[in-house]
Amino acid sequence: MKHQLKILAAIGLLAASVSLSHAQPYYVVGNYNSWVNPSATAMTGGPVEYSYTITGQTPGTYGNLKVTDGTWANSWPSHNMVVRYDSTGSATIHFYPGSPGDGWLPLANRVGYDSPDNSLGWGMAGGFDGWNGLNALLPSIGSGVYSNSIVVVTAGTFGFKFQSPAGSWSYIYFGADFGNGSDSGADGSYTTTNSPQTVPVVLDLPNGRYFIGSQAPAPVTNEVVFAVDMTYQIQLGFFHPGSSVFVAGDFNSWPGPSSGGLVLNNTPAYNGGSNTNIWYGTNTFIGLPNTATAQYKFTQNDASAPNSGWETSDNRPLTLLATNGTLILPVAFFSDLYPSEVLSAATPVFFSVDMNGAVGTDAYVFTSGDSVYINGDFINWYAWESGSAPAPAPAGYQMIQQGSTTIYTNTIVVPAGTTVAFRYKYGMDPGSAYGGPLDDEAGYAVNHVRVVRSTAMNPYVMATDTFGNMYAEPYFSASSPGGAELAIGAVSGGTVPVTWLGRPGAHLQVASALGGSWQDLLATDGTNWISGYSSTNGFVSQTNWPAGIQAFFRVVKP
C-alpha cells in the first residue's frame, strides 16, 4: 500500500496543495523535573491520546504533575494530579484533549496514569458516608479500572473524592477534575433521589475518567490476538532461528525478555498465509468496552538483539471492543521498523554544531578549553558524565574544533538498523576533565531529531546545529504525511523546480491528470537521489520539469 503525501497541480498551470494538519504538542511537567518549564518534556502520540513515561523515581513514592500546551496558561488538571510510582520507579501518563462526549467525567481534557499495582485498593468517600471511605473500596476489573456499587442511605447532593491507598487521605484524593485537592472546590458531586439508593461507580485510572450512576457500562471479555512481523529483524541479523518472541505489558507486569512473557509462535503460518516470519498468540482481557485497558510491547531474547531485546518504539495501546468477542490486532512490525524506515547499511553522517554562546542547562558557559561530544540513538545512548567521577565516552564521539572557529564537527558511521530519522544530543565536558559529556544541552528526552535524506552521499551532511536549539526536521511517514513539504517553484529557463524533503524509501510520482495513472520516478528515491541543495532541514531534493506541460506530483512510500 502506498501513502499519498501531498498533491501539487502545476507545470505552466496552477500550484495547488492539499495541506494536512499536525497534532498539537502537549507536555508533562512536575516535581519529577523540578517544574523546570511548561514545555520541558514532550508527550508522544496524538491526536486522540498522548502519553509519556516518567522514569528514575523512587518506587512506591508519589509525585505531582500537570499536562500543558507548552505554556502555563493552559494546564490540566486544574489541581495537580498525584501519581504513585510503580516498582520500577516509573509512571506512564496519558492525556486525552478535547471533549469526547461519552458521558464520563470529567467532560474534557482528561489526564490519567497507568495503575502501578492492580492489588492496590482504591476508595470513594464523601458527604454520603461522613467522609470515612471505609465501605467504598473499588475492586479492580481490569488494568487500572475499578468498580463497585455504593449505597447512599439518605437522598441528597453530596461531594466526594476518590482516595488511594485504601483508607488513607495522606496522598491522593482526587475529585471533579481528576486532580488532587484538599479544598471543597475540588470535590466531585452526585445527587441521589431515593433513600436508600444504590449507585454504580467505575473508576478508569489510565483514561483519567470516572462514571457514577445507573448507566455505568458493564465489563467485556475479549480474546486478544497479538501478531508481530520479525522479517526485518531477521534481515538485520537481530533475530535467529531458535530465539523467542513475547508480549510484555501492564497485564503481565512487564517481564523482561530473559524472564519471558506471553509467548508467541509462528507455526502454523499466521492466518494461513505464506509469511512464516509472523509470530502470534492470544490472551484474555476483561475490562470496560472501548477502553484502552493495557499498554504493551513485543520483546525477543536473541543474543544479537539491540536494546536488550525490547522494542525501541513507544508502548502500544490496546483498546477493547464494545462487546464480548475476539479482538484481532493488526500485524505490527517489531520496533515499528518497516524496511524503508531504517538504514539498511552502515552510513557515514557528518555532524556539526556551533558552540558560540553555548550555555548548559546548569548555566555553565562553554569556553575554548572545554570539549563537546555527541550522543544518540546511533550508539544506544552511552552513559552521560555525572560530574562526580570520570566517565569517558566511547572513542570516536568527540566533536573536533574547526580551526579557531566555534564550529565543532565529526563524521559518525551510523550502523545499519538505525532509524532513518533519529535522535541525538550534544554535551559539554567542562575543562575536558572527564573525557565524556554531561547531559547539559537540554532537558531530559529533549533531543535534536534529524533525517538521513540520501544514502547515496558519502558522507551525508547534516545541517549545522546550534547548541541548545533542539531542532526536529520534518519526516515523511505514515504518521506524518505532510513531512515531505512537496513544492513547485517559479518557471525559470524553460523548467520549473519540483522540491521535496526526501528520504530513503520515498520517491516522486507524476501524472498528466489527477484521474490518470501515476508514473513512478524511482530514481528520485533517497537511496539514489543527490540533486538538490542544503537547508535547515538537511538536504532538499530537487528535479526540474519542462514548463508548459500539465503535470501533477506526489511523494509516496511503500
Instruction: Share the mean pLDDT of the chain.
Output: 87
**Structure confidence by residue, pLDDT tens digits, 59-117:** 888 899 999 999 999 999 988 998 888 888 999 999 999 887 777 888 889 999 987 76
Which of 396, 398, 381 shows the shortest CA–CA distance to 434? 398
CB atoms under 10 Å from CB of 137, counted, come to 15
CATH number, span 347-466: 2.60.40.10
Set of cell numbers at residue 208: 483519567
Query: 327-336 as b/e, with b when 16 or more CB fall inside 10 Å?
Result: beeebbbbbb
Set of cell numbers at residue 126: 464523601
3-state SS assignment for residue 33: helix
d(CA 556, CA 2): 6
Set of cell numbers at residue 98: 478535547
Q: According to the model, what pLDDT value does residue 122 have?
A: 80
CATH architecture of 220-337: Sandwich (2.60)
pTM: 0.54
CB 225 within 8 A of CB 283: no
d(CA 350, CA 10): 35
Note if the bond before 289 is cis, omega within 30 degrees: no
d(CA 536, CA 276): 43
**Structure confidence by residue, pLDDT tens digits, 197-212:** 988 888 888 889 988 8
Note if the bond before 47 is cis, omega within 30 degrees: yes
Task: Tell me the CA distances in angstroms from 241 to 109, 110, 236, 311, 319, one per residue in order.
Answer: 47, 45, 13, 19, 32
Query: 29-40 as b/e, with b when 16 or more CB fall inside 10 Å?
Result: bbebbeeeebbb
CB 383 within 8 A of CB 391: yes
Strand order of the β-sheet with 197-204 is 140-142, 145-152, 197-204, 209-212
Set of cell numbers at residue 447: 533531543
Residue type, 528: N
3-state SS assignment for residue 234: helix
Label residue 3 by pLDDT band (50, 70, 90): very low
Label residue 142 by pLDDT band (50, 70, 90): low
Which of 326, 152, 316 shows the shortest CA–CA distance to 223? 326
18-34 mean pLDDT: 71
Q: According to the model, what pLDDT value does residue 250 have?
A: 80
Set of cell numbers at residue 332: 505490527
Note if the bond before 474 is cis, omega within 30 degrees: no
**Structure confidence by residue, pLDDT tens digits, 259-290:** 889 999 999 999 999 999 999 999 998 877 77
**Structure confidence by residue, pLDDT tens digits, 502-557:** 999 999 999 998 888 999 999 999 999 999 999 999 999 999 999 988 899 999 98
Greater model confidence, 178 or 435: 435
Q: According to the model, what pLDDT value does residue 531 have?
A: 97
Q: According to the model, what pLDDT value does residue 275 have?
A: 92
Q: According to the model, what pLDDT value does residue 450 have?
A: 98
Q: In the predicted model, is pLDDT for residue 120 greater than 70? A: no
Q: In the predicted model, is pLDDT for residue 18 greater than 60? A: no
Phi, then psi, of 336 in degrees rounded to 5: 60, 30
d(CA 253, CA 251): 6
**Structure confidence by residue, pLDDT tens digits, 368-415:** 999 999 999 999 899 999 888 888 999 999 999 999 999 999 999 999
What is the CB-side half-sphere exposure of residue 239 using CA atoms within 13 A?
26
Label residue 141 by pLDDT band (50, 70, 90): low
Q: According to the model, what pLDDT value does residue 550 have?
A: 87
Q: According to the model, what pLDDT value does residue 176 have?
A: 84
Alpha carbon of residue 483 to chain centroid: 17
Q: According to the model, what pLDDT value does residue 8 have?
A: 36
Residue type, 338: Y
Label residue 11 left, alpha or beta by phi (over 0 means left) and psi (-120 to 50 means alpha): left
**Structure confidence by residue, pLDDT tens digits, 212-271:** 886 667 778 999 999 999 988 887 788 999 999 999 988 888 899 988 899 999 999 999
Task: Tell me the CA distances in angstroms from 273 to 150, 226, 280, one per residue in order.
Answer: 51, 16, 13
Q: According to the model, what pLDDT value does residue 532 have?
A: 97
3-state SS assignment for residue 152: strand
Q: In the predicted model, is pLDDT for residue 449 greater than 60? A: yes
d(CA 394, CA 422): 19
**Given the DSSP bridges, would you call strands 347-354 and 460-461 parallel, antiparallel or unpaired?**
parallel
DSSP E strands in 278-406: the ranges are 278-287, 292-300, 316-319, 325-328, 332-333, 347-354, 371-376, 400-401
